[in-house]
Amino acid sequence: MGIVSLITGRPGSSGFGSASTAEQVTDGIDATNLTAVITGGASGIGLETARVLALRKAHVIIAARNMAAANEAKQLILKEDDTARVDTLKLDLSSIASIKDFAQNFIALNLPLNILINNAGIMFCPYQISEDGIEMQFATNHIGHFLLTNLLLDTMNRTAKETGIEGRIVNLSSIAHQYTYKGGIRFQKINDRAGYSDKKAYGQSKLANILHANELSRRFQEEGVNITANSVHPGLIMTNLFKHSAVVMSMFYHI
């Protein structure tokens, strides 16, 4: 999609463009037999994804750090459609312990898993270290989703085998993957404070999202697993992700 089409919303070969809504794209889809886990499903892109999948009758699990916001999101969805199937589970992607707890709690529900949307993330935040000793953007945006995906893969693979329905893993990346440290991901200097750049640290975490999806896809094809993995740049959408970039947010708000 060229820059003109991106700005104008002109449809591409698929019939959809940047101005297309989730409801338009999913029109006519019956997701009754699908279960989807959406990280960061309490706000922004995640909430809209949860809302529309629930509207299409999928069973949606909102995974969120802020449970008050998650339950509020659930009520918003139910207010629109009181037959919607929506549940909430606590998940802090910056915490390995929380990720393990989430996976155990989800598996204990004995639900199928058809779709995993790794949506949650933080962006351009000041230098911080997670409780596990990892730079916060890399910990949350990549390590958290990497571990979560691995812990849920058996459930998704089993679901795909039992139902014959292809599993889907989607990593929300960003065009910012092009704007990272020299050489890409600084694996040996992830926690380097002296050379820390909030934007380059974000970029390397988004590059990691893409590499993760690419490697999953390669392995699935090699092993004949009925699951696809993709990464996607969602575009510039004004959500709380921009909370550490007030100037940037203001610029886009007034365009």
What domains, with CATH codes, occur in the chain? 28-253 (3.40.50.720)
Which DSSP symbol is given to 126?
P
Give the model's pLDDT for residue 120.
96
Both structure tokens of 248: 């940037």
Give the model's pLDDT for residue 241.
47
pLDDT band at 250 (very low <50, low <70, confident <90, very high): very low
Measure the CA–CA gap between 84 and 107, rounded to whole angstroms.
21
Is 147's pLDDT higher than 70? yes
Which DSSP symbol is given to 193?
S
| Residue pLDDT, tens place only, 89-121 | 999 999 999 999 999 999 999 999 999 999 999
The sign one gets for the Cα dihedral 201, 202, 205, 207 is negative
Give the model's pLDDT for residue 2.
60
Q: What are the φ and ψ backbone dihedral angles of 170, each rounded to 5 degrees?
A: -125, 120
| Rg of the chain in Å (alpha carbons) | 18
Percent of the chain whose predicted confidence (pLDDT) is above 70:
89
All residues at 6 or more sequence positions from 238 whose CB lies less than 8 Å from its CB, including other chains: 249, 252, 253
Q: Which residues are catalytic?
A: 196
| Residue pLDDT, tens place only, 45-82 | 999 999 999 999 999 999 999 999 999 999 999 999 99
**Predicted model pTM:** 0.89
Give the model's pLDDT for residue 244.
46
Alpha helices per DSSP H over 27-114: 44-55, 67-80, 96-108
Is 5's pLDDT higher than 70? no
Burial class for 138, CB neighbours closer than 10 Å (0-12, 13-18, 19+) = buried
Measure the CA–CA gap between 17 and 19, rounded to whole angstroms.
5
pLDDT band at 166 (very low <50, low <70, confident <90, very high): very high
